[in-house]
Amino acid sequence: MTTLYNPLLNGFHPDPSVVRVGDEWYLATSTFEYLPGIPIHRSRDFENWELIGHVATRDDQLAVADVPTAGGAWAPTIRHRDGVFHLVITDAMGRGMLHFTAVDAAGPWSDGELIRTHDGSRSLDGIDPDIAWGDDGTVYITYSGLLLSGEGVGQHLGIQQVRVDLDRHVALEEPRSVWSGTGGQFPEAPHLYAVDGRWYLMIAEGGTERGHGISIARGDSPEGPFETAPQNPLVSARSTIRPVQNTGHGDLVIGPDGDWLCVLLGVRPRSMTRAFSALGRETFVTTVHWRDDGWPAIDPVPLNPRPGTRVDVDFSAQRTLDGEWIAVRTTPASIADLDARPDALVLHGAGRTLDDPHPVFLGRRQEHLTNAVTVTVDVHAGVGGLAVRYDERFHVEIEAGAGVVIARAVVADLVQEWSIPLTSEVLDLHIESRRPAAGGALPKTSDVFHLAVTTEGERRELATVDGRFLSSETTESFTGRVIGVYARSGDVAVLRWTAEGDDE
């Protein structure tokens, strides 16, 4: 019997799409302005998932170098047909709607072809594309009609669909409106499925916040017309006390036991009113049952976290960085120097702080609600440190160099700093996320950051920072917490990295 862990993928892994190929499952998620883009996880039992590669490993595959915050890789759909993996996605405010292919899901993937309008003049304007093949081989791209450019930018046209010539990547018609849900805001994340001679169109609606949910309709053709399911929404946590909220944006697949499953996004909020989701949108899974009337029913999403983890990294020119390392609007290889020192990763500062859209920052997703990261750095030739980043306007860091150690919290336009003299240029920097201290009142935050430094064997606590300031609700970010090392100026050598955490 398969154990379904929830989260299925911990940390910043939103907008999941899944495909089964034989007895293996492949899962793709969004990455926005981070590279490498669009991670691909593989499982052979739906319990254990391995990161096997990324779709976008080269700078020219996604044009994220200058996208605004929250732009970039939005909501992939991954499918498999005739020995080829297909992935469609919108590079929002970047290249546009793209189609990638690969024989091996681990890569390499193609450069990405732009899916153009009927006249071939520009990209289809929309997000969350789905790709499906009709019984006669016709290719359908169904997507959410949010306009990202032109005079109507910001307007939403509902769920749209076009038939596409996949050899030329050109629409064969003007976009048509298809079923757009039951009236909830922001219909998005469409997926088409052929099941027992009928076509099912599943979408998300209600917005990706607390109103999020999944609805479905069916028809005799992938083009509709579609009949609305009587029990919509199939799943939603709104107005409930469930520990997993914002459940929506799902994809259906047959699991290892022959049962249907739905992978979907959700958040794990904490605080007195469960108002703050520290890790952002994560990937979850739940079971699906088919009713006697031919409609699917999706079970509520249970919380079933995995055991805690620990990651230790010693850097060396003989060992490449693993795929969990990500960078902002550039590839990790462009900023991570493993050759400058045999025992360290060196970051070369360029005078940019974490407020800049292009920081010299290399990080990993925060995977656990209770979490501790320690890095050993040598700052004799530079200034830099350890940070938790949501985006340019929301980050917390501890920085060393130029004779001082500074703990800093940046919350939009508010900045607070705490400092002590630097007594050793090789030191340990610590950022820990802990539950709020138990007390008589209910906690009014998700967690508390503890920022500390250890020099010459002595640990000194510099600051505590309310974790709600780096939650998805405060930042209004589509991403999540990424913890990483950075260089502000000069050369910062990172000797060791340790991260451990749990979700108890």
Torsion of CA 249, 15, 445, 499, to 10 degrees: 150
pLDDT at 282 over 70: yes
pLDDT at 138: 98
Distances (CA, A) of 59 to 65, 102, 109, 139: 8, 17, 13, 28
User: Backbone phi, then psi, for 167, in 5-degree steps?
Assistant: -75, -40
pLDDT at 206 over 70: yes
The residue annotated as part of the active site, out of 91, 188, 466, 473, is: 188
pLDDT at 444 over 90: no
Distance CA 440, CA 87 (A): 51
pLDDT at 440 over 70: no
Domain for residue 118, yes or no?
yes
User: Backbone phi, then psi, for 41, in 5-degree steps?
Assistant: -105, 145
pLDDT at 317: 83
Q: Which residues contact 279 (CB under 8 A, 6 or more apart)?
A: 10, 11, 12, 267, 268, 366, 367, 369, 480, 481
In which domain, by residue range, is 460 found? 309-502
pLDDT at 9: 98
Same domain, 83 and 210: yes
Known active-site residue 33: no
pLDDT at 416: 98
For residue range 231-262, what is the model confidence (pLDDT) as tens digits?
999 999 999 999 999 999 999 999 999 999 99
Known active-site residue 314: no
Distance CA 491, CA 487 (A): 7
Mean predicted confidence (pLDDT) in 157-169:
97
Residues β-bridged to residue 252: 262
Select the more confidently predicted residue: 223 or 443.
Answer: 223
- Contact by Cβ (8 Å): 38, 73: yes
- Contact by Cβ (8 Å): 206, 213: yes
With 0.95 as the threshold, say if the pTM is over it.
yes
At which of 186, 204, 233 does a domain end?
A: 233
- Contact by Cβ (8 Å): 482, 363: yes
At which of 209, 233, 257 does a domain end?
A: 233
- Alpha-carbon Rg for the chain, nearest whole angstrom, is 23
Q: Name which of 490, 485, 494 is nearest 351 in CA terms.
A: 490
pLDDT-based confidence at 326, cuts 50/70/90? very high
Q: Number of structural domains, the chain?
A: 2
Mean predicted confidence (pLDDT) in 210-237:
97
Domain for residue 256, yes or no?
no
Domain for residue 317, yes or no?
yes
- Contact by Cβ (8 Å): 179, 188: no
Domain for residue 445, yes or no?
yes
* Peptide bond before residue 36 is cis, with ω within 30 degrees of 0: yes
Taking all residues of the chain, what is their mean pLDDT, rounded to a whole number?
Answer: 96
DSSP state letters, 464-487: EEEGGGGSHHHHT-SS--EEEEEE
Mean predicted confidence (pLDDT) in 51-80:
96
Question: DSSP alpha helices (H): ranges in 246-385?
Answer: none
Residue type, 309: T
Distance CA 65, CA 356 (A): 12
For the chain, count helices (H), then strands (E): 1, 36
Mean predicted confidence (pLDDT) in 221-240:
97
CATH of the domain at 188: 2.115.10.20
Distance CA 25, CA 23 (A): 7
For residue range 95-140, what is the model confidence (pLDDT) as tens digits?
999 999 999 999 999 999 999 999 999 999 999 999 999 999 999 9
Residue 59 region by backbone torsions, left for phi larger than 0, else alpha for psi between -120 and 50, else beta: alpha
pLDDT at 443 over 90: no
Domain for residue 136, yes or no?
yes
Same domain, 314 and 460: yes
Residues β-bridged to residue 490: 382
pLDDT at 439: 64
Mean predicted confidence (pLDDT) in 284-292:
97
Domain for residue 2, yes or no?
no
For residue range 140-154, what is the model confidence (pLDDT) as tens digits?
999 999 999 888 899
Same domain, 166 and 28: yes
Q: What percent of the chain has pLDDT over 70?
A: 99
- Contact by Cβ (8 Å): 303, 269: no
pLDDT at 233: 97
Mean predicted confidence (pLDDT) in 34-60:
97
At which of 178, 206, 233 does a domain end?
A: 233
